[in-house]
Structure 1
């Protein structure tokens, strides 16, 4: 295992800056997910860790050693690619064994490592098959087995599940999580899928335009996103971002919204520092509320008219207007209809406020 340190790392292609001073520290045995859309720089950063891309500025350290100028083979890493990259004419056993043969590991050690990896990944009965005889999920297990037998300081995964169907993705997520628990390995994992990030990671780095927008444990990233971009990117449906106004209240901060009928709705008891309350008093703010943090109530709440209902089975998505924008609430199945009025309470301890200009979190 090895600690990973990324210090002030930059990457440029001519005048174009792809990565803009990235700083990340991953403890030994940690699982870091680089999360973001295509073009955000996550795969470039992974390739720089692997030694497949040069570093324009900064430093990358693995297990305390600077690896900027080391070739990929000298970094003690193993990489699992999106495309599996298996040799089609070799059996599963031969594919797993190939790298060990190149490194001149004795035959007895190779056999023991193959058997251990195959048992761990539940593919002992596949060792004599060729890749063409395997499903996509089985091929990805072979690619993982080939990485495991190297016993590296650092595992790198480059969107390994993107070619699989939905059911296989869920199964393989479980396999990867189980693998991490058994081996205690340090892993860096690239994906654009926020479900993979939330379920696998010990740390998530949400990226946009070559900048890490938020680095933290998954629940922190979900509950207290650093800015509006992170709030909207993580979560499905995304966090609602509603224009409002901070007004006076004795019981914590209160925000006011404009309702479709022209009246004003209020949510009180929001945690906010005294400094932020003074600075934003009677000023516009953006109010972040997750869909699941609305609850139907017969007491005090916000009265809204339902525009759309989307039953999903375990819950119902209710769409309505608040603060001049479309808002989604995730509610337990209930008897109502489009056009009816619904009174909704908000879990105020989960509300997040943002500056409307910088879009950074206030509280």
Structure 2
């Protein structure tokens, strides 16, 4: 197990800079998820950690050891790729043992490590099969088993679930979570799936254009996103960003925004007195998660129902506010298109952003 420190790391291909002074630090045994869309630089950063890409600037430290100039084999890492990269002519056992065999580990020790990994991943009955006889999820387990037997300081996962169907993704997500809990090894995991990030990570680095937009615990990233990009990227449905204004209302931070049915008002938003005074009377962007609306006959947010989307456990209501489309997630009720309703908002959950910079206030 090891800590991981990424200090002012840069990567450029000629004049194209794909990583711009990335700074990330995770403790021993943490689960770091690099989250972002295609082209944001997350896989490039993973490859730099692995030693598969040269670094343009900065330092990478694994366990307080600078590894910039070390080849992958000397970094004490194990990597699981999106493609399973299994040898088709070998059995599962032979695939898992192969790396140990190359390193000259005795047969008895190889067998013991392979059996332990197979038991951990619930595939003891598959050891004599060939990869062609396995499902996608089983093949990914084999790739994970091959990594486990190395006992590395650092596990690296490069979108390992992308090739699986929806149900298998959920199952394998649980397996990876369970694996981390059992091994306690530091993991770096790349994905574009924010659900994977929220469920797996102890720390999330949301990336865009080679820059870390927000780094922190997943709940912090969800509840208090650093900017509107993070707010919209994390969460499904995404956080609603509604143009509004900050009012000076008896010392209580209050925001208002317009709906076709009238002015909506939310009192008591979490904002420091200094920031509330500085932005009083100015335009702001009001961030509200869909689940923080509530159906309330006395609510201060008048809405007209445009679209109703029942999902079973809840109902999504789409309405207009602040000149934009807003989604509310409510408990199931007899919602009808065209009907006017009143909603309340959990004021303590509201996040405000500066319209000029799109960064969070406070």
Fold-level match, TM-score > 0.5?
A: yes
Partner residue in 2 for 1:99 = 99
What does residue range 301-320 of structure 1 map to in structure 2 within 5 Å? 301-320=300-319
Partner residue in 2 for 1:271 = 270
Partner residue in 1 for 2:135 = 135
Q: Kindly state the Cα deviation for residue 58 of structure 1 after the two structures are TM-superposed.
A: 0.2
Q: Which deviations, in whole Å up to 9, do the C-alpha atoms of 1:65-121 show, x marking residues without a partner?
A: 100000000100000000000000000000000000110011111000000000000
Partner residue in 2 for 1:213 = 213
Partner residue in 2 for 1:2 = 2
Runs of 4+ in structure 1 off by over 6 angstroms are none
Partner residue in 1 for 2:239 = 239
Partner residue in 2 for 1:63 = 63
Q: Which deviations, in whole Å up to 9, do the C-alpha atoms of 1:51-72 show, x marking residues without a partner?
A: 0000000000001110000000
Structure 2 Cα separation of the partners of residues 250 and 107 of structure 1: 77
Partner residue in 2 for 1:284 = 283
What does residue range 51-200 of structure 1 map to in structure 2 within 5 Å? 51-200=51-200
- Cα RMSD for the two superposed structures: 0.7
Q: Kindly state the Cα deviation for residue 250 of structure 1 after the two structures are TM-superposed.
A: 2.3
Structure 2 Cα separation of the partners of residues 235 and 192 of structure 1: 12
Partner residue in 2 for 1:338 = 337
TM-score, scaled to structure 1: 0.99
Q: Which deviations, in whole Å up to 9, do the C-alpha atoms of 1:253-305 show, x marking residues without a partner?
A: 111111214x3221111111122112211110000000000001122321110
Q: Secondary structure at the match of 2:268?
A: strand
Structure 2 Cα separation of the partners of residues 300 and 193 of structure 1: 34
Q: Which deviations, in whole Å up to 9, do the C-alpha atoms of 1:132-179 show, x marking residues without a partner?
A: 000000000000000000000000000000000000000000000000
Structure 2 Cα separation of the partners of residues 183 and 214 of structure 1: 27
Structure 2 Cα separation of the partners of residues 274 and 253 of structure 1: 8
Are the counterparts in 1 of residues 297 and 341 from structure 2 also a CA contact under 8 Å? no
Partner residue in 2 for 1:350 = 349
Are the counterparts in 2 of residues 79 and 157 from structure 1 also a CA contact under 8 Å? yes
Are the counterparts in 2 of residues 288 and 354 from structure 1 also a CA contact under 8 Å? yes
Structure 1 Cα separation of the partners of residues 129 and 230 of structure 2: 44
Q: Secondary structure at the match of 1:23?
A: strand
Partner residue in 2 for 1:322 = 321
Q: Which runs of 5+ in 2 are unaligned?
A: none
What does residue range 42-53 of structure 1 map to in structure 2 within 5 Å? 42-53=42-53
TM-score, scaled to structure 2: 0.99
Structure 1 Cα separation of the partners of residues 62 and 299 of structure 2: 55
Q: Kindly state the Cα deviation for residue 12 of structure 1 after the two structures are TM-superposed.
A: 0.2
Are the counterparts in 2 of residues 59 and 66 from structure 1 also a CA contact under 8 Å? yes
Q: Secondary structure at the match of 2:219?
A: helix
Are the counterparts in 1 of residues 243 and 284 from structure 2 also a CA contact under 8 Å? yes
Q: Secondary structure at the match of 1:34?
A: strand
- The count of corresponding residues between Structure 1 and Structure 2 is 362
